[in-house]
Amino acid sequence: MEGRPQFLNALTDEARAAFARLGVRRHFAVGDVLINEGDHTQDMVVLYKGVVKVTARLDGGRAALMDIKIAGDVVGEVAALDRGPRSATVTACGDVTAAFIPACALVPFLHANPETMVPLMGVFCSRLRRSDRWRLEFAGYPVLVRLARVLVELAVSYGRKERNGVVRIDVNLSQPEFAALTGSTTNTVHKALARLRRDGLISTGERRTFVRDLPRLSQVARLSASVAEESSHRTA
């Protein structure tokens, strides 16, 4: 389980400074929608502050949580490049600052700065790898293992280390959203979370999740000890 590289962090200082001059920055509060599924807008959105969640509609109108993005990530790049409709909705999970870069500015910039294409391709490749890994995990692991893997990834990518090694996950997720991330039902996730709490691996409250023992949680997730140790260093 590796940390997730952000697009902006992969750019050179010069490219990052030039890229920051593109688009218009806007501010959002929790619950505000940055992108609506089905819209035909063609901006790529660059996150400079905050956390957003990416959801898509399923049959019957239910929304499934597809991904989470943090400062340094981009969203909406596919529609900006292929001019198709938006495939998902992007919603602010707290205070968010983002730049909206229209396709008419993005494409010429990429042509003039070809070195930025490699980090952008990395965004696509990372998404494909995650999608492939999740499909394999859904088929091969029980819900408890899948949930533990999601919690480890959230702790590594979005966690803040507190006292006594506790990691606070700064993404507020509901049990239905955990169910969407693990490909299970809300009732099954409720039972799995309760078991992890009873075992002293996590604690929850006010839609906050605290990982109290990352190495043991990594064992439940069937991740190697070296991965757990590396994860601990990243959240420090």
Where are the domains positioned within the chain? 7-134, 141-234
3-state secondary structure 41-63: CCEEEEEEECEEEEEEECHHHCE
Task: Identify the bridge partners of residue 56 per DSSP, sorted by sequence position.
Answer: 64
| 7-134 has CATH 3.90.1570.10 classification | no
Question: Would you give per-residue pLDDT tens digits along the chain (236 residues)?
Answer: 444 557 888 888 888 888 889 889 999 998 899 999 999 998 999 999 888 888 888 776 667 777 888 888 899 988 888 888 998 999 988 789 999 999 999 999 999 988 888 888 888 787 777 766 666 666 678 899 989 988 998 888 778 888 788 999 877 777 887 887 787 888 999 999 999 999 999 998 776 789 999 999 999 988 754 444 554 555 55
Nearest Cα residue to 223 out of 117, 101, 133: 133
| 141-234 has CATH 1.10.645.10 classification | no
Q: CA–CA separation, 154 vs 130, rounded Å? A: 13
Q: CA–CA separation, 24 vs 90, rounded Å? A: 17
